[in-house]
Structure 1
């Protein structure tokens, strides 16, 4: 019997990318196809709307409040223990608004992925949509990448491109990119699972 490929998703907010992955996993029957399932959705915020959304989709949820810990290292150590209880093949960051310590990133090296709302390596960090508009870019988009110790610099797994329109604001561009995120992230996770032995 092959080892089950458990996926743990970390969220801090609405969980829309998490929901896109859970729905795709169900629709495409990842359990039957790859032996893969979303084992848990974990949030650092008890009020994250994504927790209720995950529960409504049948996913198990857990909360680990970062405020309960004195240091980033202590929080990450507790988070690793929580994640590792699920024996994850893949840890997915889906709007998880925490800078992770090198120890955490190293622990999940090669099985930790994130989605970033720009065409990396352009516009790492925050305010990506406004920065793309200010720079006069004709195209923007999103990137799924492996997480490394350097913020938004890991190996790129997939990208989706959207046009920047003449009358775009950061909000209208963000909304157009988000539509692509909800398509790209599940596809990138699917492709990662498919590539595993």
Structure 2
């Protein structure tokens, strides 16, 4: 594979379930002149995911996967990834857990963004849990995906100060801004390591 020629060398798939703010953020970064990747595919388990409108706007192929049968669902996803020559998968608010078998097939090439300073506060409702525990800091983490929830090797983290009047919503909004800064940098780091 050619290194750093200014050509978009890497084909990326983004998996989403909701609003897709990290998805649109990665799209915008992919359109920059010095970008080394192109988003070729978006996969969602949610037919009504708001983020799918960006796929339409930017003419990115989209695939809705019905997750009723996880084995078949993942088989379908792997077929799509193969058909579109996808080299890296970015999870961006994807609310399904990938099986160990799926992860093995894409080992070291699936990354996720999580709204806490991992290994603290894995899973859901992170902001409220952070506030309930009177933490001074929270943040966000981009990490490799392994078979344990939010437990893969950390690529990059950003620490965010918690203020006295913070609510879960306020903290979430502030951390999301940092997610948008961190994810493209982490993706670049992953690409340069491949």
Query: Structure 2-normalised TM-score?
Result: 0.92
1:62 corresponds to 2:67: no
Residue 17 of structure 2 corresponds to 12
- Tell me if structure 2 keeps the 8 A contact 1:143–1:159: yes
Alignment of 1:13-162 (within 5 A): 13-30=18-35, 34=36, 36-67=37-68, 71-162=69-160
Moved over 6 A (4+): none
**Is this contact kept in 2: 1:12–1:97, CA < 8 A?**
yes
Q: CA deviation at 1:122?
A: 0.3
Query: Partners in 1 of 2:155 and 2:181 — Cα distance?
Result: 14
**How far apart in 1 are the matches of 2:190 and 2:109?**
9
Q: CA deviation at 1:182?
A: 0.8
The total of aligned residue pairs comes to 189
In structure 2, distance between residues paired with 1:99 and 1:84: 20
Measure how far apart 1:129 and its partner are: 0.5
3-state SS of paired residue (2:19): coil
**CA separation in 2, counterparts of 1:58 and 1:76?**
24
**SS of corresponding position for 1:88:** coil
SS of 1:49 mapped into structure 2: coil
Name 2:173's counterpart in structure 1: 175
Cα distance in 2, alignment partners of residues 115 and 42 from structure 1: 16
For residues 20-72 of structure 1, the C-alpha deviation after alignment (integer angstroms, 9 at most, x for no partner) is 01101112442xxx3x21111111112111111222133222222224xxx32
Q: Which has the higher helix share?
A: 1
Structure 2, unpaired ranges of 5+: 4-8
